[in-house]
Chains A and B, each alone.
Chain A
């Protein structure tokens, strides 16, 4: 079973978010997400100072099997990105809640975090299978891995 730290909140698109003491929101993808994706080989992060809206596409995480869009969990401005991922994208697999963080947003409205799920709700959400199954080996033969994002409906 994948790990869901209780101090974080989670989006249906499998990003986690954490409000830090400096008022900024740290963003990554969940342990469940990295596990479903498999080995991450490439991460495209948003540009610094970019304004993003909640649930707006902000980058992409690509694993050996699929490309998954990243969504900003809250509205705000991108104030930091994890440059280490350029040379070591596997950090997303190895430490999704630590060194594998993705970017930091200066939020326009902290209360948007209340719209995200707590750890327990998110764990139930993952267990319920409401998200797309990204573990289907037929990707290898039918190319469904292309442009697959975490929040697509079951097909």
Chain B
């Protein structure tokens, strides 16, 4: 019997990708499009117009029952009680008992349930992790492998979506709002630093939606562009910028931890509070390369005190220079030296994000 990872999953859009001449690559157990010819062109399409990503490999879990809210308040470090009404969503972390980041998720509050979208690569960890903690609550978990998910992103995303589908519901949504429209769910969320939506549809409806978006001028974009877009937007990638060995405090995610009310007992809280008191020593922050070249994950970063390391690195298509996220001593400021292929190159610490809505935003 082959190992599970040898059998790559295919999303309902596999044939559509092949028709669009995608270069398909193995990615966390899935066959996914890396690009459709030019990753850089796809990146620019999202920054200047509209692009679409097949994100059907991500994990979707519906949480229902009388105990759904209490359950999610227990397992998510952000507080779903902040979702004041159906149609709101928030970003948060699932932590282990040591405060390490098991995964980062978006939780949508819908009229009759919650929906948790988590990463593809953590599915085999997260799905049992949630089930194991559900026993104490009056709650039903349902994995939605029957759905496909498309992210339509870019300044023209909403207009083109409306043109493609005739559905105008997305126009009324604010950032991190969501709505259901028949058996579709539309959320004003994304992973690019641009305006846009993420749409969940029944698997059998995915291809028609894709084709209609293509006809409306939305550019297919692959994993490559998704990575440079999210990095420019200063958004973490789980398994790279943070994982179970580090807490949100060291991962530029302290803002996603809801400390109040103090009596809310979420998984990892005790460890995280101890960590907070002892003054953690490292932070995740942004680095820009001030010479020509490309930053890559795992490059060493020298600061005035201790050294650190790049957790993500790339050439920013929007800015035209190297950018990265780095885990560095908490006190580090200003200039750094980055070990680029054996040579020390000049870099500088900046607060992410690097790019929002097509423009450079760091100082």
Contacts and interface: CB of A to CB of B under 8 A. Distances in A.
Interface in A30-73: 38-39, 41-42, 44, 60, 62, 64-65, 67
A138 interface: yes
B293 A136 contact: no
Given A38-B39, A137-B25, A147-B341, A65 B224 contact: yes
Contact of A137 (B32, B239, B297, B298): B32
Contacts of A141: 27-28, 121, 237, 239-240
B341 A42 contact: no
Contacts of B25: 135-138
A140 B26 contact: no
Given A64-B315, A138-B25, A140-B27, A145 B296 contact: yes
Contacts of A84: none
B338 interface: no
B199 interface: no
Contact of A64 (B40, B239, B299): B40
A136 B299 CA distance: 20
A23 interface: no
B294 interface: yes
B165 interface: no
A5 interface: no
A146 interface: yes
Contact of A135 (B32, B34, B239): B34
Interface string B333-345: 0000000010000
Nearest to B297: A143
A143 B298 contact: yes
B55 to A, nearest CB: 14
Contact of B294 (A38, A42, A93, A135): A42
Interface string B217-243: 000000110011000000001011000
Interface residues of A, number: 23
Given A64-B228, A64-B315, A138-B25, A146 B296 contact: yes
A136 B8 CA distance: 13
B294 A140 contact: no
Given A39-B39, A137-B223, A140-B27, A64 B296 contact: no
Contacts of B239: 141
A145 B296 CA distance: 8
Interface in B1-50: 23, 25-28, 32, 34-35, 38-41
A42 B224 contact: no
B296 A143 contact: yes
Q: Kindly name the residue among B34, B299, B317 whose own CB sees the greatest number of chain A CB atoms within 10 A.
A: B34
A60 B32 CA distance: 28
Contacts of A145: 296-297
Interface string A57-99: 0001010110100000000000000000010001001000000
A86 B27 CA distance: 32
Contacts of A62: 293-294, 315
A141 B237 CA distance: 8
A146 to B, nearest CB: 5
A140 B23 contact: no
A90 B315 CA distance: 13
A67 to B, nearest CB: 7
Contacts of B223: 137, 140
A131 to B, nearest CB: 16
B151 interface: no
A138 B224 contact: no
A93 B35 CA distance: 14
B76 to A, nearest CB: 23
Contacts of A147: 341
Contacts of A64: 39-40, 224, 228, 314-315, 317
Q: Which 9 residue pairs are nearest across A and B when measured between Cβ atoms?
A: A137-B25, A143-B297, A41-B315, A39-B40, A137-B27, A62-B294, A146-B296, A137-B34, A64-B39
11 contacts: A41-B317, A44-B293, A65-B34, A67-B294, A67-B341, A136-B26, A137-B25, A138-B27, A140-B227, A143-B240, A147-B341
Given A64-B317, A67-B341, A146-B297, 16 more contacts: A39-B40, A39-B41, A41-B294, A41-B317, A42-B292, A42-B294, A44-B293, A60-B341, A62-B293, A64-B315, A67-B294, A137-B26, A138-B26, A140-B224, A141-B28, A147-B341
